[in-house]
A = this chain, B = another copy of it.
Amino acid sequence: MQSFVSLSALFDEQFNKRHFPDTPKNLYDASQYILNIGGKRVRPVGVLMGNELFNEIDPDAYHVANAVELFHNFSLIHDDIMDKAPLRRGVPTVHINYGESTALLAGDVMLVAAYEYLNKINTLHLHHILSLFNKTAKQVCEGQQLDMDFEKRDKVGLDEYLNMITLKTSVLLAASLQMGAIMGGASIGNREHLFEFGKNLGIAFQVQDDYLDCFGDPKKFGKQIGGDILSNKKTFLMIHALEAANDIQQKELSLLLNSNPPDKVERVQQLFHDCKADEWAASLKEKYYHLAMKHLEDIAVLSSRKKELEKLAMYLLQRDS
């Protein structure tokens, strides 16, 4: 099995092109703009890795990989509109550059273009892939809705938050791997273990992402540090802090959640630190990393074939071993 870097290069080779017609220029330039910003392409390469874990890569896997990456970018464009996010990977978001209406439509046509790629695959797997793709697409939308609902609530339980981020971010990685597995002819059992590997890896990644949004290096992170704090997001850190804070800290946190002082980010960061939410998040990330690895172990293929997926997990979670 090839490395993430090798498969990423193979993916890019066919993906790095214009995916849209020339006109209407406004519309399709906006769609192409976000693709040109780049990204790690973890999900589409996940399709290829999920495929190659069981078989030689099916040429159709590239169509599915393209569809997954377009779907992901569709969701980013629309999420950025909803979150009123000014930056994505350090550059202006689509709606900032092209206006909200064009960004909305640019997302819509991106989603349709994803289905155009899916329609290129052989009839043999079409129903099965479409079914998983549709299910996942709805779950991602559901996750985004829950995320917005939670912003308006005072308290969110850890289980609720886990369910939300599983839907919003993890299932797409999990389903990408599984779509590859379907095309590789994997058994149901193996497909499910691979899905769970991706799902738990995605959760661990999100714990890390919440951490980095608060404590990360702005240059490396690409997004505005403290963005989650400013929008009162109930992140893993906030959920733990709300549970672990003592009476004085509770009061301060409640005050900060209901106001926007200029030093809001710094004060919430300090509170998270005082409640040891940062340490707790590190152990939670470990827990889901190990769950992911357990499911990877349980896939019935030679362990040598799994090496590259192990490396992918370490790379995504910034681990040395």
Contact = CB atoms under 8 A, between A and B. Distances in A.
B138 A112 contact: yes
Chain copies in the assembly? 2
A123 interface: yes
A141 B112 contact: yes
B115 A130 contact: yes
B130 A127 contact: no
Interface string A66-100: 00000000000010011000000000000000001
A268 interface: no
Sorting the interface of chain A by its residue count into under 10, 10 to 19, 20 to 34 or 35 or more gives: 35 or more
A109 B139 CA distance: 9
A119 interface: yes
Given A115-B115, A123-B126, A126-B126, A141 B78 contact: no
A105 B144 contact: yes
A126 B108 CA distance: 22
A38 to B, nearest CB: 24
B123 A127 contact: yes
A138 B119 contact: no
Interface string A111-153: 1110110110001001100110010011001101110110000
Given A108-B78, A108-B111, A119-B131, A27 B142 contact: yes
Contacts of A146: 24
Contacts of A82: 100-101, 104-105
Nearest to A102: B145
Nearest to A115: B134
Contacts of A3: none
A113 B138 contact: yes
Nearest to A107: B108
A104 B105 contact: no
A2 interface: no
A149 B119 contact: no
Given A27-B141, A27-B142, A112-B134, 5 more contacts: A26-B145, A105-B141, A113-B138, A119-B134, A123-B126
